[in-house]
A and B are shown apart, each in its own frame.
Chain A
């Protein structure tokens, strides 16, 4: 299992580096950037399960992120432990995924994508209108500290938590690629007719992937809420949030293990990091840089950063002839 060992080593290295940063770095701005990177890598990976591996490109993934964020807001404001938000958010996310996925997952291509926009908009409106979700005001979480309250003055601990989530999500994805679900999703994406002919029930398997992806996004939402201490419709449910998540997944490479991390790196380091140095995101400079990078990658590496590498590896391996080793996904 050479490839798997490689991935696990890479993951271990990243976790080790993350721990070093969490304990060693004290500049809060840098820590916040690392935290954002990890969160977006998780969100990108969760999006990747349904849009990359399964091929249903979603522009409404923020709704699951919001499940966790709002769960946090609700529970903390109500005096409960924020740790429960992981469970509550996950449950809400699963229900939402099943309810919205059941009618839409069988839609093809762009029709599905537009449906996700429509669903997300409807969810946003519902959240604004339902009184116990505080409408347009959202939730402001009270400032506390400590592991019990899941809030910290030093961002280092947030980085640690995000690292745990990132590692869990990556391990789950490594497992996905080697599982029946993974094979079935790839088959559905590659050729629906052929997939059906070998007994794959599209709705059942895509719903499973959708629900799993929703849970991951929700967990990221909880951490986000505990960090920024503010949750409202535009910040967690807006179309731009969904678009950001989608772009990270696509730039990195659809259906690849490390694509989302690569995409998140581009987003955070180049767009946000550079923009901070140039001066202010109100001027649109971060958008110009980010947009230019995306265009360049799209033109030169249309499979995405990691996708280009993975596809080349597979083509080379295929041309090399037979291999005594049992095949494994790269």
Chain B
């Protein structure tokens, strides 16, 4: 009798430990996912902060980067070496898009940027479908297969690399914004465009660089995401949607907010996917967002 009770107690204890370790595992996985979202979101919020534009096509830039990474992989260039190449390519792409298109949108009413970037979204998705077809493209012989043991947690290598890559790049971006003269100029324009102009800052050039930088973030994120996700025309849409919620949750224009929001969303998404179901993984995210803006209409760290 006592033996059975002791065994039951041990089973319960084991179950609890297992539940805890599963939860812990999910938490870590969520944080890693969140870090990649952070990279996407930071690019978005940077562009918004500097020029008051939400680039609704941001997800498509990620999609483009994934296809670019895939293309490089076919040429034998691995995703990690390809990452700087893809980021630079997307930076240049962003510059071109800004010069040819986004710059014009800024002269119109605020809705112009909404519908212009939406048009870009539709156009890019259509082009991807027309040029690359709807097939899922995965990198052949992907690196970083298998799992890594970190204490009690078993993490997929790819997720770990993605997370670490994202955190390094986000930190680099943060340092750039904080310490470089261009970064400081961006912050000035973000705070008060008129004052920045009066101080001699070339706002057009800063806009251009900010958009390029935001695109580069999307590019880097795409190259990282390719490690464990296939490329297909709609892939940008789901990442973009999450990125928008992240930015709004953290507060439009706040980079720290984007990071915080991304971690929260990453964790909630992973937990939701496991404890509810994969289709419902975004539900806790949406509920959290609605709850936050009800209490703080400007997001967690947003201004005003």
- B205-234: which residues lie under 8 A (CB-CB) from chain A? 233
- Residues of chain B within 8 A (CB-CB) of A57 are 111, 114
Interface size on B, residues (CB 8 A): 46
Interface size on A, residues (CB 8 A): 47
Q: B138 within 8 Å of A by Cβ?
A: no
Please, how many angstroms separate the alpha-carbon atoms of A330 and B152 in the complex? 69
Please, how many angstroms separate the alpha-carbon atoms of A114 and B286 in the complex? 9
- Residues of chain A within 8 A (CB-CB) of B10 are none
- Residues of chain A within 8 A (CB-CB) of B108 are 298, 302-303
Please, how many angstroms separate the alpha-carbon atoms of A294 and B294 in the complex? 33
Q: B23 within 8 Å of A by Cβ?
A: no
- Are A298 and B289 in touch, CB under 8 angstroms? no
Q: Which of B110, B125, B283 contacts A284 (CB 8 A)?
A: B125
Residue interface bits A298-311, CB-to-B below 8 A is 1, else 0: 11101110000000
- Are B280 and A125 in touch, CB under 8 angstroms? yes
Q: Which of B105, B128, B280, B297 contacts A111 (CB 8 A)?
A: B297
- Are B244 and A117 in touch, CB under 8 angstroms? yes
> What residue in chain A is nearest B102 (Cβ atoms)?
A299
Q: B101 within 8 Å of A by Cβ?
A: yes
- Are B241 and A298 in touch, CB under 8 angstroms? no
Please, how many angstroms separate the alpha-carbon atoms of A296 and B134 in the complex? 26
> What residue in chain A is nearest B234 (Cβ atoms)?
A240
- Residues of chain B within 8 A (CB-CB) of A302 are 104-105, 107-109, 111-112, 115-116
Q: B248 within 8 Å of A by Cβ?
A: yes
Please, how many angstroms separate the alpha-carbon atoms of A81 and B149 in the complex? 63
- Are A122 and B283 in touch, CB under 8 angstroms? yes
- Residues of chain B within 8 A (CB-CB) of A295 are 101, 116, 119-120, 123
Q: B282 within 8 Å of A by Cβ?
A: yes
Task: For residue A239, give the distance in angstroms from its CB to the closest CB of chain B.
Answer: 7
- Are A294 and B127 in touch, CB under 8 angstroms? no
- Are B294 and A103 in touch, CB under 8 angstroms? yes
Task: For residue A151, give the distance in angstroms from its CB to the closest CB of chain B.
Answer: 33
Q: B245 within 8 Å of A by Cβ?
A: yes
Task: For residue B295, give the distance in angstroms from its CB to the closest CB of chain A.
Answer: 11
- Are A287 and B129 in touch, CB under 8 angstroms? yes
Q: A285 within 8 Å of B by Cβ?
A: yes
- Are A288 and B118 in touch, CB under 8 angstroms? no
Q: B298 within 8 Å of A by Cβ?
A: yes
Q: Which of A109, A114, A122, A294 contacts B119 (CB 8 A)?
A: A294
- B240-266: which residues lie under 8 A (CB-CB) from chain A? 241, 244-245, 248, 252
- Residues of chain A within 8 A (CB-CB) of B294 are 103
- Residues of chain B within 8 A (CB-CB) of A107 are 293, 297
- Are B126 and A298 in touch, CB under 8 angstroms? no
Q: Which of A111, A121, A282, A288 contacts B283 (CB 8 A)?
A: A121
Q: A243 within 8 Å of B by Cβ?
A: yes
- Are B293 and A117 in touch, CB under 8 angstroms? no
Q: A106 within 8 Å of B by Cβ?
A: yes
- Are B130 and A291 in touch, CB under 8 angstroms? no
Q: A118 within 8 Å of B by Cβ?
A: yes
Residue interface bits A272-298, CB-to-B below 8 A is 1, else 0: 000000000011111111111111111
Q: A108 within 8 Å of B by Cβ?
A: yes
Q: B161 within 8 Å of A by Cβ?
A: no
Tally of A-B Cβ pairs under 8 angstroms: 136
- Are A288 and B111 in touch, CB under 8 angstroms? no
Instruction: State whether A298 and B116 are in contact (beta carbons under 8 Å apart), knowing that A111-B299, A283-B130 are contacts in the complex.
Output: yes
Q: B39 within 8 Å of A by Cβ?
A: no
- Are A291 and B248 in touch, CB under 8 angstroms? no
Q: B267 within 8 Å of A by Cβ?
A: no
Instruction: State whether A114 and B109 are in contact (beta carbons under 8 Å apart), knowing that A107-B297, A298-B116 are contacts in the complex.
Output: no
- Are B290 and A247 in touch, CB under 8 angstroms? no
- Residues of chain A within 8 A (CB-CB) of B54 are 110
Q: A22 within 8 Å of B by Cβ?
A: no
> What residue in chain A is nearest B100 (Cβ atoms)?
A299
Please, how many angstroms separate the alpha-carbon atoms of A251 and B129 in the complex? 23
Residue interface bits A75-100, CB-to-B below 8 A is 1, else 0: 00000000000000000000000000
- Are A298 and B119 in touch, CB under 8 angstroms? yes
- Residues of chain B within 8 A (CB-CB) of A104 are 290, 293
- Residues of chain B within 8 A (CB-CB) of A39 are none
Q: B124 within 8 Å of A by Cβ?
A: yes
- Are A117 and B241 in touch, CB under 8 angstroms? yes
Instruction: State whether A299 and B283 are in contact (beta carbons under 8 Å apart), knowing that A106-B297, A117-B241 are contacts in the complex.
Output: no
Q: B90 within 8 Å of A by Cβ?
A: no
Residue interface bits A34-64, CB-to-B below 8 A is 1, else 0: 0000000000000000000000010000000
Please, how many angstroms separate the alpha-carbon atoms of A295 and B108 in the complex? 13
- Are B290 and A287 in touch, CB under 8 angstroms? no
> What residue in chain A is nearest B124 (Cβ atoms)?
A291
Across the A-B interface, give the 4 residue pairs with the lowest CB-CB distance, nearest first.
Answer: A302-B108, A287-B126, A284-B129, A291-B123
Q: A-contacting residues of B (Cβ < 8 Å)?
A: 54, 101, 104-105, 107-112, 114-116, 118-130, 134, 233, 241, 244-245, 248, 252, 279-280, 282-283, 286-287, 289-290, 293-294, 297-299
Q: List 11 A-B contacts (CB under 8 A).
A: A103-B294, A110-B252, A111-B248, A115-B289, A125-B280, A284-B130, A287-B123, A289-B126, A294-B116, A295-B101, A298-B105
Given contacts A247-B122, A291-B124, 18 further A-B contacts (CB under 8 A): A110-B54, A111-B293, A111-B298, A119-B286, A122-B287, A125-B280, A239-B241, A283-B129, A284-B128, A287-B129, A288-B126, A290-B122, A291-B126, A294-B116, A294-B122, A298-B105, A298-B112, A298-B116
Q: B-contacting residues of A (Cβ < 8 Å)?
A: 57, 103-104, 106-111, 114-115, 117-119, 121-122, 125, 128, 239, 243, 246-247, 250-251, 254, 282-300, 302-304
